[in-house]
């Protein structure tokens, strides 16, 4: 399953040139600054821009020099950057619009599922002007899901939602994605959201793909600007080792050792991915005792890099077969005498499971 793209478009001084073949499975995050062409790219994939391009989804040619499958026959779901609800329908009408246009046997999400997934129970008879910004966004997501698409395009779908709603919706969305196996192309500015959700990452810069590939490998690459983000971090593969119900902890074995994280309802041996943010990682020369930091693994410093803020340094540490990022002050780096190749202990304050 893959999405093959080749397009080139110029609008005034802006130009978008994309050539690539990205796996269409799980969540592919489209990450880039404002105005780099993320929305434009989604529109091209959806068939909303008429321009010479080549778009192939899972071996179905959607567009090339000789043919153009119009948007309504591409079986996509599109959550627009602005919620764009139908003003002449209430919430239920909006939700049913796409649902009705799928044959019953092709429906993979029921109205009730979508409604409870996005917490719309009390809003069904509201008209769009009677909704708050975040409520509108949730309706738009539910509407797209109910079209049972083969590919879901989401343009910053959670930007107007509060953390609690996000925390509620994201895991359910992830489960739905896995259950239904709908690949998602997900535009976001928030690296945190991306790290949490994405399997693949496409990094756009000024209309060009700067890098594309599995999230893990891109996050810790020294040549990409991702380390500079507040929420920079790394993603590790591992397997559930055991559970500690007393402290509500689960242990995950990664290449470099054992990590404790919040209790998960997963059988031992289950393969998981965990996320470790650079800001949660500190370095020590000895494994500390008597600290609340519970995860400490030995590693080897790969390199140090100055950040935008000269008081900070980003240290890449090889832990087992993985690379972790650690953000430390320059003073600490000097005082601890951190140099390339040196052995250190990484103290990890917090490890998050990426629902996989």
Partner 1 sequence: MGGDDLIALAISVRLAAVTTALLLLLCTPLAWWLGTGSSRWRAPVNAVVSLPLVLPPTVLGFYLLVFLGPQGPLGRALTLVGVASPAFSFTGLVIGSMIYSLPFVVQPLRDAFEGLGTRVLEVAATLSASPWDRFVSVVLPLSSRGFLTAAVLAFAHTLGEFGVVLMIGGNIPGRTQTASIAIFNHAETLEYGAANRLSATLVVIAFLLLLTVYASTRGRGARVQPWRWN
Task: Find the angle CA(262)-CA(236)-CA(300) to the nearest 5 degrees.
Answer: 110
Of 34, 66, 88, 104, the one binding partner 1 (CB under 8 A) is: 88
By CB under 8 A, the count of residues binding a copy of itself is 76
Please tell me the count of residues contacting partner 1 according to CB under 8 A. Answer: 28
293 binds a copy of itself (CB under 8 A): yes
Closest approach, Cβ 50 to a copy of itself, in A, equals: 16
Give contact residues for ligand ATP (rule: CB under 6 A).
Answer: 11-14, 32, 34-40, 81, 126, 130-135, 160
Residue found under tokens 């202990």: 345
Find where tokens 């959550």 sit. 79
- Residue 76 CB, shortest distance to partner 1, in Å, is 6
Residues 99-158 that bind a copy of itself (CB under 8 A): 122, 126, 130-135, 138, 155-156
Place of tokens 């650079």: 278
Distances (CA, A) of 29 to 41, 134, 155, 209, 311: 12, 21, 10, 12, 31
Query: What does R_g of the chain's alpha carbons equal in angstroms?
Result: 22
- Check: CB of residue 123 under 8 Å from CB of residue 85: no
**3-state secondary structure (DSSP) of residue 296:** strand
Query: What b/e readout covers 165-187, taking b as 16+ CB neighbours within 10 angstroms?
Result: bbeebbeebbebbeeeebbbbbb
Task: Work out which of 31, 57, 62, 78 binds partner 1, going by CB under 8 A.
Answer: 78
Choice between 34 and 246, CB closer to ligand ATP? 34
Binding site partner of 80, from ligand ATP, partner 1, Mg ion, none, Cβ cut-off 5-8 A by kind: partner 1
Closest CB 240 distance from a copy of itself, rounded Å: 15
Q: Does 171 bind Mg ion (CB under 5 A)?
A: no
Among residues 209, 217, 266, 275, which one has the least CA distance to residue 242?
A: 266
Q: How far is the CB of 160 from ligand ATP (least distance, A)?
A: 6
> How far apart are alpha carbons 96 and 111 in whole angstroms?
8
User: Distances from the Cα of 149 to the Cαs of 73, 86, 142, 183, in angstroms?
Assistant: 11, 19, 12, 9
Minimum distance, C-beta of residue 124 to partner 1, in the bound complex (Å): 17
Question: Which partner from the list a copy of itself, Mg ion, partner 1, none does 56 bind, CB cut-off 5 to 8 Å by kind?
Answer: none
Stretch that binds Mg ion, among 80-88, 94-102, 223-231, 302-310 (CB under 5 A): 80-88
Report the run of H or E that residue 168 belongs to, with start and end. helix 163-180
Beta-carbon contacts of 44 under 8 Å, excluding residues fewer than 6 positions away, are: 5, 7, 9, 16, 51, 53, 55
In the bound state with partner 1, the residue whose beta carbon lies nearer, of 89 and 251, is: 89
- Of 110, 132, 288, 339, the one binding Mg ion (CB under 5 A) is 132
Residue 75 interacts with partner 1 (CB under 8 A): yes or no: yes
Among 229, 301, 319, 325, binds a copy of itself (CB under 8 A): 229
In whole angstroms, the minimum distance from the beta carbon of 76 to a copy of itself comes to 19
The footprint of Mg ion (CB under 5 A) covers: 39, 81, 132-133
The footprint of partner 1 (CB under 8 A) covers: 46-48, 70-73, 75-78, 80, 82, 84, 86-88, 97-98, 101-102, 127-129, 143-144, 147, 153
């Amino acid at each position: 399953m893959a999405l093959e793209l080749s397009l080139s478009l110029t609008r005034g001084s802006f130009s978008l040139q994309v050539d690539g073949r990205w796996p269409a499975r799980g969540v592919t995050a489209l990450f880039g600054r404002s105005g780099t062409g993320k929305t434009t790219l989604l529109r091209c994939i959806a068939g909303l821009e008429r321009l010479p391009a080549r778009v192939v989804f899972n071996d179905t040619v959607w567009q090339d020099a000789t043919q153009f499958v119009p948007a309504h026959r591409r079986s996509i779901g599109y959550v627009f950057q602005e919620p764009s609800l139908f003003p002449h329908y209430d919430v239920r009408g909006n939700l049913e619009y796409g649902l009705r246009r799928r044959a019953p046997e092709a429906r993979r999400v029921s109205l009730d599922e979508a409604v409870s997934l996005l917490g719309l129970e009390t809003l069904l008879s509201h008209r769009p002007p009677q909704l708050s910004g975040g409520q509108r966004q949730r309706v738009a997501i539910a509407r797209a899901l109910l079209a049972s698409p083969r590919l879901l395009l989401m343009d910053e779908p959670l930007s107007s939602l509060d953390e609690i709603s996000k925390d509620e919706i994201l895991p359910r969305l992830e489960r739905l994605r896995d259950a239904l196996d709908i690949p998602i192309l997900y535009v976001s500015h928030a690296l945190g959201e991306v790290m949490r959700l994405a399997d693949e990452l496409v990094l756009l810069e000024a209309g060009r793909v700067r890098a594309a590939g599995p999230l893990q490998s891109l996050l810790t690459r020294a040549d990409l600007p991702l380390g500079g983000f507040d929420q920079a971090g790394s993603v590790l593969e591992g397997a559930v080792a055991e559970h500690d119900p007393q402290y509500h902890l689960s242990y995950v074995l990664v290449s470099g050792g054992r990590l404790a994280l919040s209790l998960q309802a997963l059988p031992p041996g289950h393969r998981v991915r965990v996320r470790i943010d650079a800001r949660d990682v500190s370095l020590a020369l000895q494994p500390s005792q008597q600290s609340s930091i519970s995860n400490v693994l030995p590693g080897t410093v790969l390199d140090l890099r100055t950040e935008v803020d000269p008081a900070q340094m980003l240290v890449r540490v090889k832990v087992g077969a993985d690379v972790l990022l650690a953000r430390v002050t320059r003073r600490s780096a000097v005082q601890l005498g951190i140099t390339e190749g040196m052995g250190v202990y990484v103290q990890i304050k917090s490890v998050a499971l990426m629902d996989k």
